Amino acid sequence: MKTDQGAPNATWMANGTQWPGTWIDPVENHRKGHHAGIVKVVLDHPIRGHNLSLKDSTGYSLNFGVIDVRIPMLVYVSREKNPSYDHNKKAGALNAQLRASALLSNAQFIINFDCDHYINNSQALRAAICFMIDQREGDNTAFVQFPQRFDNVDPKDRYGNHNRVFFDGTMLALNGLQGPSYLGTGCMFRRLALYGIDPPHWRQDSITPKASQFGDSTLLLESVSEALNQERCTSPPSLNDTYVAEMEKVVSASFDKKTDWGKGVGYIYDIATEDIVTGFRIHGQGWRSMYCTLKHDAFCGTAPINLTERLHQIVRWSGGSLEMFFSHNNPLIGGRRLQLLQRVSYLNMTIYPVTSLFILLYAISPVMWLIPDEVYIQRPFTRYVLYLVVIILMIHMIGWLEIKWAGITWLDYWRNEQFFMIGSTSAYPTAVLHMVVNLLTKKGIHFRVTSKQTTADTNDKFADLYEMRWVPMLIPTMVVLVANIGAIGVAIGKTVVYMGVWTIQQKRHAAMGLLFNMWVMFLLYPFALAIMGRWAKRPIILLVLLPVIFVIVALVYVATHILLANIIPF
């Protein structure tokens, strides 16, 4: 935490001592990015047997006398960070926690969610375990993924944060194959799957954990053997100095060097989308996963409602997807036990940013209106029109099926389409450019961490929504918007000038071109609102301003045409 002046606040414990994970005055070996590992037992292991509340329930609507009030063990773990070692970001932190939890409880199931998420429905844990112990596929289920839900998104979801088509449609449909991919948060794992162990159907009779795989820790290797044999120590660990020292060892910065951690064991390193690749590695071993939706959302969190931050998030995701495609984790060559259609689904997850180049080309094509006496939809032959109609009908049929399957509304689907157009003209081309630079220069891609809240306006919950921060990746979208606004104005001007000259077929072509312009404008409507900043609180201003601009451009075109006609005889 920081004060308004920027000075950090110390975090104090109940006994008056400073929390070891913070520092008032950073010193050598104890500062951000360079500090020792920290293992702090906040709540000790609960006592054996039930501990029922002795509180008299008289006067209360609930009978607290039959409730077990024991609180599970709670341990704070902070891995060591040293500038001499790559800490591997989120994946490194998750792997350190995975090793530490093996020494503390060695529980079969692990649930993880981001720091900006919280458990909204405790029954989600029971629902996930039901999938894990199912008699049919439970033993082969590696993880149960829950949808991401956000409670800070503006009511109109201008930038498609809820993404209901993906979370409620695509991911749920993958239950019919090997299951959904891991999405980085709101997921319950089977410990053995994270260890890189094959599912029971493919597993060897005997597996001996090796230090070259899991690291040089006797206690950790013993815990892996116990997990393989489905054994679990029911007595709490003895948290003596030797045991705590071993825990600090497994969370040290150098522990996973020269081991399989980050490659074949744990969460995958050296990629922006470590979640997708980790799920891909698990599915490639033959495991399956399940997608679970509940009436009351399992987890909730925060999302970036500012356009720039939202696009930075999309750049990181799409850039990581392209990294996956141009690596040994390519779905075409990796994942030896992937089902065919599961492989296709992963392939779609890795190459979708490339399609934006064609969308950007089509969206910028209205500049052809500026060519004298030309319209850019010319003489479509019958076979092409038939092909185009079939494609459009198929797309809308798929959209209708997604809506019915996901149980969402047409408005949700439309908002998703609008943000897809914005992303396809900004974030996705930027990710493709980053990947091209990476392939040519062999330099890694560094993506910024998404900021979920960037303003301190406590009076307006959605203040970030109206903040416009210009970055280079917004230039293509701005060009597309300006090109279509200008094209519509020129089209109106050409209609005035050539109305008596054009044939019926030319008028039909011009109408089709104008319809395309209007469709692009409707898709970019949220971007136009973003440009307006705080004026976007009154969208009526935009609805009045655009027709005025169209008329001005049309008048300029007509005046220019008349001027040139008088100067240059045609």
DSSP string, 199-234: PTTT--S-----HHHH-S-HHHHHHHHHHHTT----
| Residue 349 pLDDT exceeds 70 | yes
CATH code for the domain of 100: 3.90.550
CB 158 within 8 A of CB 323: no
CB neighbour burial string for 166-193, b if at least 16 within 10 angstroms, e if fewer? bbbbbbbbbeebbbbbbbbbbbbbbbbb
What is the pLDDT averaged over residues 323-342?
92
Q: Nearest 5 degrees, angle CA 170-CA 119-CA 110?
A: 80
Query: Which amino acid does the sequence have at 513?
Result: G
What is the pLDDT averaged over residues 468-491?
89
Query: Which amino acid does the sequence have at 249?
Result: K
Confidence (pLDDT) at 16: 63
Number of residues that this document lists for the chain: 570
CB 112 within 8 A of CB 232: no
- C-alpha separations of 30 from 2, 25, 34 in Å: 18, 9, 6
| Residue 4 pLDDT exceeds 50 | no
| Residue 449 pLDDT exceeds 70 | no
| Residue 322 pLDDT exceeds 50 | yes
Cα dihedral across residues 286, 435, 419, 554: positive or negative? negative
Q: What's the chain's Rg over C-alpha atoms?
A: 29
Query: Which amino acid does the sequence have at 172?
Result: L
Inside any domain, residue 319: no
In a shared domain, residues 154 and 21: no
| Residue 374 pLDDT exceeds 90 | no
Confidence (pLDDT) at 192: 94
In a shared domain, residues 269 and 163: yes
Inside any domain, residue 96: yes
DSSP annotation of 368 reads G
CB 264 within 8 A of CB 95: no
Confidence (pLDDT) at 261: 95
At 377, the pLDDT band (50, 70, 90 cuts) reads low
Distance from C-alpha of 509 to C-alpha of 383, rounded to nearest angstrom? 17
Report residue 166 as tokens: 């993906």
- What are the DSSP calls for 25-79, one per residue? S-BTTEETTEE--EEEEEEPPPPSS--B--S--TT-SS-GGGSB-----EEEEE-
Number of domains, the chain: 3
Distance from C-alpha of 504 to C-alpha of 421, rounded to nearest angstrom? 32
CB 272 within 8 A of CB 121: no
In a shared domain, residues 60 and 17: no
Q: At what angle do helices 504-523 and 475-498 cross, to 10 degrees?
A: 150
In a shared domain, residues 184 and 158: yes
At 284, the pLDDT band (50, 70, 90 cuts) reads very high
Inside any domain, residue 341: no
Record the pTM: 0.84
Distance from C-alpha of 501 to C-alpha of 495, rounded to nearest angstrom? 10
Distance from C-alpha of 550 to C-alpha of 558, rounded to nearest angstrom? 12
Residue 32 annotated in ligand binding: no
Residue pLDDT, tens place only, 94-123: 999 999 999 988 889 999 989 889 999 989
Inside any domain, residue 556: yes
At 230, the pLDDT band (50, 70, 90 cuts) reads confident
In a shared domain, residues 536 and 393: yes
| Residue 57 pLDDT exceeds 70 | no
Closest CA to 179 of 249, 131, 235, 109: 131
Query: Which amino acid does the sequence have at 72?
Result: P
Confidence (pLDDT) at 468: 77
For residue 190, the surrounding DSSP H or E stretch is: strand 187-190
CB 171 within 8 A of CB 145: yes
CB neighbour burial string for 534-567, b if at least 16 within 10 angstroms, e if fewer? eebeeeeeeeeebeeebeebbeebbeebeeeeee
Confidence (pLDDT) at 154: 84
CB 305 within 8 A of CB 462: yes
| Residue 58 pLDDT exceeds 60 | no
Quote the domain boundaries for residue 171.
33-303
Inside any domain, residue 314: no
Inside any domain, residue 318: no
Inside any domain, residue 323: no
Confidence (pLDDT) at 509: 73
Confidence (pLDDT) at 195: 95
At 300, the pLDDT band (50, 70, 90 cuts) reads very high
DSSP annotation of 533 reads G
Residue 260 annotated in ligand binding: no
In a shared domain, residues 266 and 369: no
At 388, the pLDDT band (50, 70, 90 cuts) reads confident
| Residue 483 pLDDT exceeds 70 | yes
In a shared domain, residues 460 and 391: yes
In a shared domain, residues 79 and 18: no
Query: Which amino acid does the sequence have at 198?
Result: D
Confidence (pLDDT) at 155: 82
Residue pLDDT, tens place only, 149-160: 998 888 888 888
Give the whole-number percent of the chain exceeding pLDDT 70.
Answer: 83
In a shared domain, residues 393 and 515: yes
At 279, the pLDDT band (50, 70, 90 cuts) reads very high
Distance from C-alpha of 191 to C-alpha of 326, rounded to nearest angstrom? 29
Inside any domain, residue 11: yes
- What are the DSSP calls for 282-326, one per residue? HHHTT-EEEE---SS-SEEE----SHHHHHHHHHHHHHHHHHHHT
In a shared domain, residues 439 and 519: yes
| Residue 2 pLDDT exceeds 80 | no
Confidence (pLDDT) at 47: 67
**Max CA distance (Å), the chain:** 101
> In the chain, what is the straight-line distance between the N-terminal and C-terminal CA atoms, in Å?
72
Closest CA to 181 of 100, 268, 97, 115: 268
Distance from C-alpha of 173 to C-alpha of 512, rounded to nearest angstrom? 36
Confidence (pLDDT) at 232: 64
What is the pLDDT averaged over residues 203-229?
87
What is the pLDDT averaged over residues 189-200?
93
More confident residue, 106 or 12: 106
Confidence (pLDDT) at 8: 42
Of 95-109, 235-249, 373-387, the range with the lowest mean pLDDT is 373-387
Q: Helices H, strands E: what count in the chain?
A: 19, 10
Q: Nearest 5 degrees, angle CA 400-CA 299-CA 466?
A: 70
What is the pLDDT averaged over residues 170-182?
92
CB 10 within 8 A of CB 19: yes
Confidence (pLDDT) at 499: 76
At 432, the pLDDT band (50, 70, 90 cuts) reads very high
Q: Average model confidence (pLDDT) for the chain?
A: 82
| Residue 518 pLDDT exceeds 90 | no
Confidence (pLDDT) at 444: 61
- C-alpha separations of 379 from 384, 504, 505, 530 in Å: 10, 12, 9, 37
Confidence (pLDDT) at 339: 92
In a shared domain, residues 57 and 19: no
More confident residue, 322 or 531: 322
At 244, the pLDDT band (50, 70, 90 cuts) reads confident
Confidence (pLDDT) at 205: 73
Residue 114 annotated in ligand binding: yes
In a shared domain, residues 10 and 41: no
At 50, the pLDDT band (50, 70, 90 cuts) reads low
Report residue 493 as tokens: 């001007």
| Residue 375 pLDDT exceeds 60 | no
